Amino acid sequence: MQSPCAVVELAEQPMAWCQDAAHDSPISMLRILAVGPLGSSYNSSMPAGHADGGWAAGSGMAVSGDEDGVVKVWDQRSRKQVMAYRKHTDFISDAALQPQEAALVVSSGDGTLSVHDLRACRLRARSETDADDELLSVAVMKGGKKVVAGCQSGALALFSWGCFKDCSDRFTGHPDSVDALVAFDEDTLLSGSSDGLLRVLGLLPNKLLGAAVMSGSSSEGEGEGGELAAVAHQRAEGVYERKREAGQGGSRRNASSQAYNILTLDYAPTPDGQALKQKPVTA
């Protein structure tokens, strides 16, 4: 049975795009990755085959993966597939953009990462299989120099860019699987786990900075202005806002909850964030 792929714009807008028969198997991952806003010099380094030699400013790509390990990249402007990769042997869990080298990093339940060159639309590298640990999430950090993968075991596997044969370090501490990762800044990572906690992590040096509960209870903290959306297993959404005050660092109140299983995270900086607060919205 073929699976459709749908892209929905927020702010109460109708569905922007539905691609029928996008995959032959159920879709396990869909990411919308912006391209144009990263800078005009980056626009010309996108896949060949466009009349103007690159993606339009403000455009982007949709990356989809299915339960059989197939990855596909779609041009949101032309609404056409521009790349497909079929060598993963288990479900596709996540994808992240490495803008410095126009590369896409994909994680899979087969325990491997694959790195794809978006200029040439080809595979660039793939890590060795870790048969004992599924890779469930991925983020690019440190100005593109580090790739972090969240594992079923609760560990974070750290890869140095260009050295994907095996991870260079492991950051342990999550008691359950790391199902979602998003970069807050180049040194700070936000993780979502099946134990229901949203964690704030410092990377290299590796340190737990704090945690917040995915529930109705409030959390307090300070940091860069922005909004974080978290989707949990109980079909709830939490939106967090943060703001940095001069001379003050970040903080979190640690708590635990078994009511929520955090499935995905997305962070967008805003110029006028407020003190961290949670606004749960039930589906």
The strand pairing partners of 75, in sequence order, are 61, 80
Half-sphere exposure of 108 (CA within 13 A, CB side): 29
Contact 189, 197 (CB under 8 A): no
Cα–Cα distance measured from residue 144 to residue 125, given in angstroms and rounded to the nearest whole number? 15
Give pLDDT tens digits along the chain (283 positions). Answer: 566 665 544 445 566 778 888 899 999 999 887 654 333 223 323 333 333 333 333 357 889 999 999 999 998 888 889 999 999 999 999 999 998 899 999 999 999 999 999 888 899 999 987 667 899 999 999 999 999 999 999 999 999 999 998 899 999 999 999 999 999 889 999 999 888 888 999 999 999 998 877 653 333 334 445 666 666 655 344 444 443 443 444 433 333 334 566 777 777 665 544 333 333 333 3
- The DSSP 8-state label assigned to residue 261 in this structure reads -
Cα–Cα distance measured from residue 86 to residue 147, given in angstroms and rounded to the nearest whole number? 22
Residue 108: both structure tokens together: 């899979």
Query: pLDDT tens for residues 128-184?
Result: 876 678 999 999 999 999 999 999 999 999 999 999 988 999 999 999 999 999 998
Instruction: Please classify residue 175 by burial: count the beta carbons closer than 10 Å to its beta carbon, then call 0-12 exposed, 13-18 middle and 19+ buried.
Output: exposed
Query: pLDDT tens for residues 226-236?
Result: 666 666 655 34
Helix (H, G, I), strand (E, B) or coil at 224: coil
**Strand 178-183 and strand 197-202: pairing?**
unpaired
DSSP code per residue over 158-206: EEETTB-SS-SEEE---SS-EEEEEESSSSEEEEEETTSEEEEEETTTT
Strand order of the β-sheet with 169-171 is 135-141, 146-151, 156-160, 169-171
Instruction: Please classify residue 60 by burial: count the beta carbons closer than 10 Å to its beta carbon, then call 0-12 exposed, 13-18 middle and 19+ buried.
Output: buried
Domains of the chain: 27-34+59-215+260-265 (2.130.10.10)
- The DSSP 8-state label assigned to residue 204 in this structure reads T
**Backbone conformation region of residue 58, classed left if phi is above 0, alpha if psi is from -120 to 50, else beta:** left
Nearest to 208 by CA among 197, 222, 224: 197
Q: State phi, psi for 128 to the nearest 5 degrees.
A: -70, 150
Cα–Cα distance measured from residue 96 to residue 279, given in angstroms and rounded to the nearest whole number? 26
127 contact partners, CB below 8 Å, separation of at least 6: 112, 113, 114, 159, 164, 165, 166, 167
